[in-house]
Structure formats: structure tokens, C-alpha cells
Amino acid sequence: MEKLFDDKLRLNTEYALHQHDSYGFYDNSAKGEFVKVREILNDWFSRYPDNHKWNLKRDFQSDFDSAFFELFIHELFSKQGFQLTPHPALTDSTNHPDFLAKKGDIEIYLEAKVAFDESKEEKTLKTKHNIVYDTINQISCPGYGINIEGIDFISKNQAKLGKVKSFFQKNIDTNAPIYALPKRYNYQDKLDRFLTYKDEDIVISISLYPTDVNLTRPIISYLGGSFMGGSDGSLKKAIKAKAKHYGNPEKPFIICINSLSIKHTSTEDVYNALFGIGRRFSDDDLNGKDQDFNIGDNGVFHNSVNPLNTRVSGVFITRVFVSNLHVADHWLVGHPFTNNDLDFDNLDLSYIYADSNQLKEVKKKSIGEIIINA
């Protein structure tokens, strides 16, 4: 029987690098927590249709996040009693949604998509930072942790990573106590003790902090950042990309989004994305409380004048990994103006719907209760 991860001897007990191939890492890791991940994914994969396994395994090797979410959606709806057919043909489009889900007389098209918040430029910069992090983490730094204070790319050339590593290693070997921060320090103390590498392509500044343990990967503090706003922008973009991709589907159609935004995804983000509601409220506001249903500007379901994307029956949004199945939140929201009505009571998942001037939640099951406890 085809497996997602084949049986073989595995000896790698290291954690993943910042720059790593996710499939290759899981396929080669001998660490217990990643063995468990492999077992879970192989179990899900065993229930995926045999004639589509080869393609899905190839997708895992080239785009792990997207393939994982597709397999997750297959498992989530299979556990609710649906039979799923991958990539069904449509009468009104040459494109193929990810699944046709059937249970009795119920038929639903499902599309699985991952939503990120990074632009192409931001992804490129993140990749360059990760390469530098992996280089510095190769430094031997017994008794000290490394704080990354700054990384500036001066040119578009690849940084001379061998020189970077050699410079920091030599200075740490000979002068670590001089650069190390005291237990208590002020900002000027910190500036005075920066250890900085500079050439025509890159400038990197680090500081050292005494530790009681010898770290196999010495970086203890990375470049930080903060974000204004939430993930509603990336949710809108992901939903719009799929809303009209399949012509006029003759069956109910749910777009499923795994929000891997670097920003937190909240109930407010979901509502702002779908309805354009510009109010502030917390996730706790839906705990046993109905919300006033106001139509705002620039929602996926409605703008200030007209309903939008009415081919979509609803949207399922979550932020899920193998490691958080038991606690992963989800928002399954019916489109109040859809042309393809779906009775969400036919699903086991909790869902939200619009009733007159209110959004109401029907409490049923969570992701964990369906996937883990089914």
C-alpha cells in the first residue's frame, strides 16, 4: 500500500533548520514528536483515494502546506460521513475544485486554500534572514546565547556566509567576555558591546548573553517586529481567488482557508473579511452571544450596495497544524445571499449564519472532537 512516508531507517535527531524542506525533514526525523506527525499523516493518507495518492504525495514534496491542508480537509469531512472525490469535473468550468463531498443526497464542492500575509518581497527577505540565522546557529558558543540585533542587506548579492561565520566564531573564541552583556545592563551598554560584521553586501550585529547551559543552536533572540491590523486582508484575497474560479457550480460550494498569516486570526478578522464590518470586538463576544449583523464596505459577501460572490455557499476558516488539532479554532460561516443554499445542519461542525439582523452561532463540534474523538 502506498504510504506518504515510506518505512525506512531514520537517524536524524536534530530539529529543523530555518531553511528546510518540510517533507524531507518529517521523512528523515527520528525525534519522537515528529515520528508522531508522520504516523498521523500516514494514517490520513491511507484513507485518501488510491488513484490520487501519487499526485498528493508529489504535492507534499513540492508544497507541504497546501498538500497538508488538502489532506486535512479530506480527513475532516470523511470523519463527518462524507465520501470525497478529488478534483471532480464541472459542467460550467474546465477547472477542478479539490473535492466533491457526498453523503446521502447531499453533495458539496470543497476547495482548500492556504492564506499567507507576506508579499513576494517579504517572503524573499524572510528567506534571506533564515539563511543568515542557520549560518549563525552553526557557531560554537559555549556559555553564551546570541541575540540578533540587526541584519541589513546592502546589495542584492548573496552574502559571503563562510566569512560571516568565521568572523563571529573567531571573535567569540577570543573575546566573548568582552562582548558579553552583564546580567543587568542599559541600552548604551548594549550598543557598546555589539559585535558587528560588515562587508559590501551585508551588515550583521549580534550581542552575547551569558547562559548556564551550552546551546546546540546559540541564537536565543531573533529580529522582532509588530503588525498593525489583522489577517482579514489575506483572508479576502484567498477567498476572492477561488470564488469565481469554477464558473457557476450547480452544487453548494464551500471555500476552506487555512490562515497561516504571520498575524493573529480572530473572529473580528473573519467578520471584517466576509462582511466588511468595521467594529472592534473580541473572540469571546461569540461565546453564547449573538452579534448584530451590519453590512459594511468591501466585504467578500457584500459591499455597501450589492451581494458579492453569491456562487459561494459558505467559508470555512481555521489555522490548523498536526500539532494543534485538539485546540484549533474554526469559523464556518454561511453566505447569507448565496445562490447555492446549503443546510449546515448536515455538517457536524459548529457554524455561524445570518438571521435577519443578527449573526448566530450553532454550537456543534470542534475540529478536535471530529478528527481526534470521532
> Which positions of the chain have pLDDT values less than 70?
183, 185-190, 224-229, 277-297, 374
Pairing mode, strands 314-318 and 253-259: parallel
98 and 130 in a common domain: no
Last residue of a domain, one of 165, 192, 221: 221
**Is residue 99 located within the same domain as residue 238?**
yes
Calculate the alpha carbon distances from 334 to 231, 242, 254, 328 in Å: 20, 16, 9, 20
Give pLDDT, residue 289: 46
| Angular region, 48: left φ>0, alpha ψ -120 to 50, beta rest | beta
Name the residue range of residue 139's domain.
120-221
Domain shared by 248 and 213, yes or no: no
Domain membership of residue 167 (yes or no) is: yes
Residue 324 shares a structural domain with residue 355: yes
Q: Are residues 196 and 105 in the same domain?
A: no
Residue 86 lies in a domain: yes
Our count of domains for the chain comes to 2
pTM over 0.75, yes/no: yes
C-alpha radius of gyration, the chain, whole number: 25
User: Is 54 a domain residue?
Assistant: no
Distances (CA, A) of 164 to 154, 168, 209, 220, 222: 14, 6, 19, 18, 17
Query: Is residue 2 assigned to a domain?
Result: no
pLDDT of residue 187: 63
pLDDT confidence of residue 368: 96
Are 237 and 207 found together in one domain?
no
Pairwise CA distance, residues 341 & 231, whole Å? 27
Please report whether residue 9 resides in a domain.
Answer: no
In a domain, 191, yes or no: yes
Confirm whether 65 is domain-assigned. Answer: no
Q: What is the tens place of the pLDDT at every residue in 114-126? A: 998 777 787 888 8
Among candidates 226, 244, 263, which has minimal Cα distance to 111?
A: 244
Q: Are residues 113 and 127 in the same domain?
A: no
Last residue within a domain, chosen from 221, 256, 288: 221
Is the same domain home to 255 and 159?
no
Q: Is the same domain home to 201 and 329?
A: no
CA distances from 316 to 11, 127, 135, 260, 335 (A): 39, 30, 39, 14, 11
Domain final residue pick, 173, 197, 221: 221
134 & 277 share domain: no
Q: Looking at residue 145, what is its pLDDT?
A: 93
Residue range 13-64, pLDDT digits in tens: 988 888 889 999 999 999 999 999 999 999 999 999 999 999 999 999 999 9
**Is 312 a domain residue?**
yes
Q: What is the pLDDT of residues 160-184, one digit of tens each?
A: 999 999 999 999 999 998 888 876 7
